[in-house]
Amino acid sequence: MRVGIISDTHNLVRPEALDALRGVEHIVHAGDICRRDVLDALASLTVVRGNNDVDETVAFLPEHARVQLGGATIHIVMISPMSRRRSMASMSSSPVIRTSRSSNDGTACCT
């Protein structure tokens, strides 16, 4: 199963990011969406709220989510000082994929 991970789109999903996500079966957006219409460009999606997601169209999103994909359990959270303590306890039984922005196109690099 191919899973795409993206974050920090900040109101824009660039064409390069959409190209990188083409053909994936599920997309994980790890926060900082900023406006709901960004999510309309993405399909089959699990999304969490980031520290910049204060607009009323995205402020209701969960701080963290857990999803089963391809036999693996993935816990998604944008670690910020506010969410760190609350989310770390619930992640204890999940494998961790640490993401960081690799460039300005909103795609993420995973380790």
pLDDT at 107 over 90: no
The strand pair at 45-47 and 3-6 is best described as unpaired
Q: What does the pLDDT read at residue 110? A: 44
Give the model confidence (pLDDT) of 47-63 as tens digits.
999 888 999 999 999 98
Q: 3-106 belongs to which homologous superfamily?
A: Metallo-dependent phosphatases (3.60.21.10)
Q: Cα separation of 17 and 21, whole Å?
A: 6
Which token pair is 86?
């609350």
Burial class (CB in 10 A: 0-12, 13-18, 19+), 85: exposed
Query: Residues 42, 63: contact at Cβ < 8 Å?
Result: no
Question: Residue 26: its pLDDT value, please?
Answer: 93
Q: How many CB atoms lie within 10 A of CB 111?
A: 7
Distance in Å from the first CA to the final CA of the chain? 18
HSE-up of residue 43 (Cα within 13 Å, Cβ side): 5
Give the CA dihedral 21, 110, 78, 40, nearest 10 degrees.
Answer: 0
Instruction: Please check the confidence at residue 102 and state whether its pLDDT lies above 50.
Output: no
Average pLDDT in the 98-103 region?
A: 48
pLDDT tens-digit profile of 24-50?
Answer: 999 999 899 998 888 888 888 999 998
Q: What is the mean pLDDT of residues 60-70?
A: 90
pLDDT at 55: 92
More confident residue, 107 or 27: 27
pLDDT value for 62: 92
Q: Which of 5, 8, 39 is nearest to 106 (CA)?
A: 8
Q: What is the mean pLDDT of residues 4-19?
A: 91
